[in-house]
């Protein structure tokens, strides 16, 4: 079974005016789709072709000979997770257990937001910033290029993509503005809370 480009969880214009339909058309329709196509080409007629994305990532992480497979598999996974980390009715603050855990592990929402913005803004070049569950505690981490927390034993709760193609058509070089908009208007706290609950 070939790897598939998953449907977006909303229409391509649903995140406007914060992220334009033009950006989503390129980001989802071109970039994300290209990673799926590349992964299928790289794994065709191999045992990896029938495995889950998570298994492909686990089996190829840290193997220089299979870096191309890892990079494309991780980017397919990361992008799918990123689309779900946003909502047309997103933003604001979390509630319930997630809010309590942010208070306990990260010193409160304002400190979390500062740490998340810093991680996303200071990721040199391309990459991602994440809220993860690591060893039973919430942490803010960043990864470069295609790297993903699931390759390091962490459970992602939400992510922001800081590759330039994620924001450049809308924000040009103003990455901090994009990050602030993500937190204020787009972040899907219900998705993050569900990921935390599923992790036990």
For the chain, domain boundaries:
21-84, 96-198
* Least reliable range by pLDDT among 55-59, 185-189, 196-200: 196-200
Mean pLDDT confidence for 182-200: 97
pLDDT of residue 116: 98
**Residue 93 pLDDT > 90:** yes
pLDDT of residue 120: 98
**Residue 1 pLDDT > 80:** no
Close Cβ partners of 52 (under 8 Å, ≥ 6 residues apart): none
Mean pLDDT confidence for 38-55: 96
CA distance between the termini of the chain: 31
CATH architecture, domain 96-198: 3-Layer(bab) Sandwich (3.55)
**Residue 97 pLDDT > 80:** yes
Q: Do domains 21-84 and 96-198 have the same CATH topology?
A: no
Half-sphere exposure of 68 (CA within 13 A, CB side): 9
Mean pLDDT confidence for 133-162: 98
Residue/partner pairs of 114-118 with CB below 8 Å, 24 or more apart: 115/140, 116/140, 116/160, 116/179, 116/183, 117/176, 117/179, 117/180, 117/183
Mean pLDDT confidence for 98-113: 98
CATH architecture, domain 21-84: Orthogonal Bundle (1.10)
- What tens digit of pLDDT does each residue of 123-142 get? 999 999 999 999 999 999 99
**Residue 110 pLDDT > 90:** yes
SS3 71: helix
pLDDT of residue 200: 77
Mean pLDDT confidence for 6-16: 97
């Amino acid at each position: 079974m070939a790897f598939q480009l998953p449907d977006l969880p909303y229409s391509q214009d649903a995140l406007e005016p914060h992220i334009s339909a033009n950006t989503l058309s390129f980001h989802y329709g071109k970039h994300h789709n290209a990673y799926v196509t590349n992964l299928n080409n790289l794994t065709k007629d191999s045992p990896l072709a029938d495995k889950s994305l998570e298994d492909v990532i686990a089996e190829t992480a840290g193997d220089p000979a299979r870096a191309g497979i890892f990079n494309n598999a991780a980017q397919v996974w990361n992008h799918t997770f990123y689309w779900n980390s946003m909502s047309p009715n997103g933003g604001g603050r979390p509630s319930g257990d997630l809010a309590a855990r942010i208070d306990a592990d990260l010193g409160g929402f304002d400190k979390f937001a500062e740490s998340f913005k810093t991680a996303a803004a200071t990721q040199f070049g391309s990459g991602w910033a994440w809220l993860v569950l690591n060893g039973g505690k919430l942490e803010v981490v960043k990864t470069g290029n295609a790297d993903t927390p699931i390759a390091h034993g962490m459970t992602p709760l939400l992510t922001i993509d800081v590759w330039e193609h994620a924001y450049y058509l809308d924000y040009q070089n103003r990455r901090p503005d994009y990050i602030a908009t993500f937190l204020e208007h787009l972040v899907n706290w219900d998705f993050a809370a569900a990921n935390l609950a599923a992790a036990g």
